[in-house]
């Protein structure tokens, strides 16, 4: 087939476009980074115009370089990042508030009231947290001059990044989101898959500014601007749901873990939502057209790959991310050091917004190589916590863990992860499963792929790491990690 599917992957640190052929192979790509804006401690912002400009440029560049017909465009995105813009002009009213941002911590306490952080969990599957889009939207309405009055007058639009990109791609004609992104706002009822008027009223959000909720795989509109004008936009999935779909986790009990800016483990639980009793999120995994929605349990970890960036950019211990593995391998162990990167508090399964980062176990013996090793191990330890919670909630014993994302090229980390979980860790041939999942959603909607069996057929294993650590050593290290985590509590009132 000469035609291909284009997937825009608008992430936390960059905007990419990857083109995929019928076998699910990447045949072209383009990528542009954008600035991380930190106005004050705990605040993280992006320029929405830069996200759109870079996404459009990546799409046009990849398509031109590949020289193939693009049959459809899919979109995957950093999920909870929140944008509000003028309906008439398309101008953002302020910078995007990024999912990592913690400025809404006091607002979340106010919304929780006497009921506590689980006040809305039954309807939304989520605890009240700075992580989600609803509190961020409320903050914008309360703190940007004139925003609330303009929103109530119907002049403003809200969207997560997917909505913003579709709006721009269609020249301001289409204001939509999909069920996976809507399920991360705290404003959608998890079972009806509609905006909940009572929730919106309690959050102080006018219904008129919200996008229409659609499935993850259908033709929403056609591109109206640029050289791809006329190409259908046919798939939208939040980034972690897209990776789950791209990893072919299509049956209940199948799970994947993405190692990116943060870590995100999703377990397919089928067509009925499973309430978590161990600190996980209940979320929509995907919905194909008018089929029944598929749900997932999710463990979200705020800081993993971004900790490597912090080691590079803030401390200057490494000059590039690739340097961390040889540095960590220059010592035989972590020297007793444990690094708990609670920069934005702790997400799943602990949900402690009062926590802040700690390096525990320092002695004069410790050097930068031990710290580098502790940085890598922090990702694996946090993943172990989430997997334990998933086992407890689902009753499913995973036999393998499918992995993807930028950090899976670090073989030292992957081996330690297998050791710590005591299950094989499996990396697919196509590691860019987030973009691939969005491509599959779009391609299925236009008939490029016949059905989900094509998704299964295309998935292939690249490498497998088997556990080789004895149980006593595993238990000792995990116990020491838990002692370090407890030192992070109570840093904020």
Between CA 260 and CA 198 the distance in angstroms is 35
159 CB-near residues (< 8 Å, 6+ apart): 83, 85, 167, 175, 177, 211
Contact 18, 74 (CB under 8 A): no
Q: Which of 288, 147, 168, 269 is nearest to 221 (CA)?
A: 168
Provide the sign of the torsion angle of the four alpha carbons 378, 382, 388, 391, taken in this order: negative
Between CA 467 and CA 420 the distance in angstroms is 8
Burial of 490 (0-12, 13-18, 19+ CB in 10 A): exposed
Annotated binding site for ATP: 12-14, 261, 305, 309, 406
Annotated binding site for glycerol: 79-80, 131, 239-240
Between CA 215 and CA 202 the distance in angstroms is 26
Annotated binding site for ADP: 12, 16, 261, 305, 406, 410
Angle between helical axes of 411-421 and 368-394 (0-180°, round to 10): 40
Q: Which of 24, 20, 27 is nearest to 5 (CA)?
A: 20
CB hemisphere CA count around 164 (13 angstroms): 32
Contact 249, 234 (CB under 8 A): no
Annotated binding site: 12-14, 16, 79-80, 131, 239-240, 261, 305, 309, 406, 410
Strand 45-46 with 281-286, pairing: unpaired
Between CA 171 and CA 209 the distance in angstroms is 17
């Amino acid at each position: 087939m000469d035609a291909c599917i284009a997937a825009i992957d608008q992430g936390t640190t960059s905007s990419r476009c990857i083109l995929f052929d019928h076998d699910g192979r990447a045949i072209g790509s383009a990528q542009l980074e954008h600035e991380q804006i930190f106005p004050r401690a705990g605040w993280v912002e992006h320029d929405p115009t830069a996200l759109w400009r870079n996404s459009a440029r990546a799409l046009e560049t990849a398509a031109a370089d590949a020289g193939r017909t693009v049959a459809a465009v899919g979109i995957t995105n950093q999920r909870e990042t929140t944008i509000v813009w003028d309906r008439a002009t398309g101008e953002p009213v302020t910078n995007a508030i990024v999912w990592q941002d913690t400025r809404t911590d006091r607002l979340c306490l106010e919304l929780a009231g006497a009921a506590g952080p689980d006040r809305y969990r039954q309807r939304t599957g989520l605890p009240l947290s700075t992580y989600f889009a609803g509190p961020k939207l409320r903050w914008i309405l309360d703190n940007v001059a004139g925003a609330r009055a303009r929103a109530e007058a119907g002049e403003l639009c809200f969207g997560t990044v997917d909505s913003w990109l579709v709006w721009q791609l269609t020249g301001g004609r289409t204001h939509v989101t999909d069920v996976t992104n809507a399920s991360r706002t705290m404003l959608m009822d998890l079972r009806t898959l509609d905006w909940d008027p009572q929730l919106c009223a309690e959050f102080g959000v006018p219904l008129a500014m919200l996008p229409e909720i659609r499935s993850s795989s259908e033709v929403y509109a056609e591109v109206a601007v640029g050289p791809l004008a006329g190409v259908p936009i046919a798939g939208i999935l939040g980034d972690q749901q897209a990776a789950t779909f791209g990893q072919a986790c299509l049956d209940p009990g199948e799970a994947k873990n993405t190692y990116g800016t943060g870590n995100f483990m999703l377990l397919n639980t089928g067509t009925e939502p499973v309430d978590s009793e161990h600190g996980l999120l209940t979320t929509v995994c995907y919905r194909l057209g008018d089929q029944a929605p598929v749900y997932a349990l999710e463990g979200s970890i705020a800081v993993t790959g971004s900790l490597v960036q912090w080691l590079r950019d803030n401390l200057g211990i490494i000059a590039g991310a690739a340097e961390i593995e040889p540095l960590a391998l220059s010592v035989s162990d972590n020297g007793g050091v444990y690094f708990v990167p609670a920069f934005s508090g702790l997400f799943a399964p602990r949900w402690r917004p009062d926590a802040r980062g700690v390096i525990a176990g320092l002695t004069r013996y410790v050097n930068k190589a031990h710290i580098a090793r502790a940085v890598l191990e922090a990702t694996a330890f946090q993943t172990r916590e989430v997997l334990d919670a998933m086992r407890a909630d689902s009753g499913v014993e995973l036999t393998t863990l499918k992995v993807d994302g930028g950090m899976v090229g670090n073989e030292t980390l992957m081996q330690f992860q297998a050791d710590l979980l005591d299950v094989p860790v499996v990396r697919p041939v196509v590691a860019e499963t987030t973009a691939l999942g969005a491509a599959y959603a779009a391609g299925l909607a236009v008939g490029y792929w016949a059905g989900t069996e094509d998704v299964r057929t295309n998935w292939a294993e690249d490498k497998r790491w088997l556990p080789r650590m004895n149980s006593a050593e595993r238990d000792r290290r995990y116990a020491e990690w838990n002692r370090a985590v407890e030192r992070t509590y109570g840093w904020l009132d």
